[in-house]
Amino acid sequence: MTITLAFDVYGTLLNTHGVVSTLERHIGDKAVDFSRTWRDKQLEYSFRRGLMQNYENFAVCTRDALDFANAFFKVSLSAGVKQELLEAYRKLPAFDDVAIGLDQANKAGFRMFAFSNGSAEAVEALLDNAGIRNYFQGVVSVDDVKSFKPNPGVYSHFLRKTESVGSDTWLISSNSFDVIGAISFGMRSIWVKRSQDAIFDPWGIEPSLTVINLLNLAEQIDQI
């Protein structure tokens, strides 16, 4: 059976800290820490909403996390600046290795899908803006099942939607919670360790493969 690759989007294909340059214009040297807090809270809010079964889409989690970061750093961003930042988040840049890695995987004959906490509409726009939408057969969003990764129902939805089999499906993600969630569900998974300082959650569940970027990803999968 042809192997299916499920690519996480935020933080794996697209740099969620691509908003730092916009932040720097408004809050100076607090920008990097602000961006990190914004991202951490965005994920935390998605986890909490999933557990509470009180779903709002990822854009709401992103907006609420921005409000938290604004209050935490006491920077008093105006409504206009917040909107500018949210617009920047809808145009995140791809990491430098992504287009080459996706092209290699596409030429190797893998079935490739984007698989995201974001809504299908938002992800389609992000991928188009980054110039990488053409590498994917489709976009699968958690929005369809009104929950978030790592809920096992989300991974089940991906397999149903793409008519894939867990043992022949690889999730590619820079988020260790996502990797652990996929493996726990019965898929295989690759951790993209984009930072030397990144730590994989010590849960006793290891990634099927660890890479530092997407270059030669297809070749490394074929060797396993």
For the chain, the residue count is: 224
- Rounded CA separation 137/116 (Å): 14
- CB distance 158 to 167 below 8 Å: no
Locus of tokens 């990097």: 32
- CB distance 211 to 171 below 8 Å: no
One DSSP character per residue, 107-160 reads: HTT-EEEEEESS-HHHHHHHHHHHT-GGG-SEEEEGGGTT--TT-HHHHHHHHH
35 Cβ contact list (under 8 Å, min separation 6):
16, 17, 19, 20, 23
In degrees, rounded to 5, the angle at the alpha carbon of residue 70 between the alpha carbons of residues 64 and 73 is: 140
- CB distance 174 to 193 below 8 Å: yes
Would you please indicate which residues are annotated as catalytic (active-site) residues? 8
C-alpha torsion sign, points 167, 171, 176, 182: negative
